[in-house]
Copies of this chain bind each other. A is one copy, B any other.
Amino acid sequence: MGRPRGFDEAEVVRAAVVLFANRAYDGVSVDELVSHLGVHRNSLYKTFGSKRGLYLAALRWCLNEEVPTLIAEIERAEDATAAFQRLTTSMAWAGMDLLLLAAVERAPVDREVALEVKRALNSLDEAVQRRRGSGQAAEIMRSPLGFTATLLGLRLRVRAAVLTAESGAPTLRHGPHPS
């Protein structure tokens, strides 16, 4: 039995979600992680193996804990407009921002991240599928802003799927090629 930890792993992971949701992966240094998470760098490497290991833990936590919350919001919203409103304005959705960042900047170059992002997006798609009324496009989707958002969102998904694309995979093909 050794010295007791001065940190809680789950709490460290949750704090990491917030940091990684706010800035790009390379924009968050290990020094910063150590400062903000209350875990020493040695312990960070012992617990998560690497900076990338912590990132994956944070991403998985948010996909396991916050995506279901997102899904619950979608399922309970009276219509799509209300769902969009609530899901795109809340400060609490660090998980969604992490998903967004992971999809755009990490998934095209990290297959493990790509698989997690794919899993999360598929879960969201299935929740929307289950919910009646989503076939009825929200008012915002008929607006120019909604059109542009959809366009960017579709392109984001194409890029995020580059490393995990396979025959019969849904939606559109092409995107940046891995180097």
Interface residues of A (CB under 8 A from B): 21-27, 80, 83-85, 87-91, 93, 96-97, 99-101, 103-105, 108-109, 121, 124-129, 134-138, 140-142, 144-159, 170-177, 179
> Contact at A157–B149, with CB atoms within 8 Å?
yes
What distance in Å separates the Cβ of A131 from its nearest Cβ neighbour in chain B? Answer: 9
> Contact at B145–A125, with CB atoms within 8 Å?
yes
Query: Which residues from B are CB-within-8-Å of A170?
Result: 145
Query: Which residues from B are CB-within-8-Å of A26?
Result: 24, 26-27
- Our pick among B24, B142, B154, B174 for the contact of A149 (Cβ within 8 Å) is B154
- Our pick among B27, B91, B101, B109 for the contact of A174 (Cβ within 8 Å) is B91
Query: Which residues from B are CB-within-8-Å of A144?
Result: 124-129, 134
> In the complex, A156 Cα to B103 Cα: how many Å?
11
Query: Which residues from B are CB-within-8-Å of A171?
Result: 145
What distance in Å separates the Cβ of A51 from its nearest Cβ neighbour in chain B? Answer: 13
What distance in Å separates the Cβ of A49 from its nearest Cβ neighbour in chain B? Answer: 21
Listed residue (A22, A103, A156) with the most chain B CB atoms within 10 angstroms of its CB: A156
> In the complex, A25 Cα to B100 Cα: how many Å?
16
- Our pick among B22, B134, B147, B179 for the contact of A134 (Cβ within 8 Å) is B147
What distance in Å separates the Cβ of A19 from its nearest Cβ neighbour in chain B? Answer: 10
Query: Which residues from B are CB-within-8-Å of A24?
Result: 24-26, 105
Listed residue (A24, A99, A157) with the most chain B CB atoms within 10 angstroms of its CB: A24
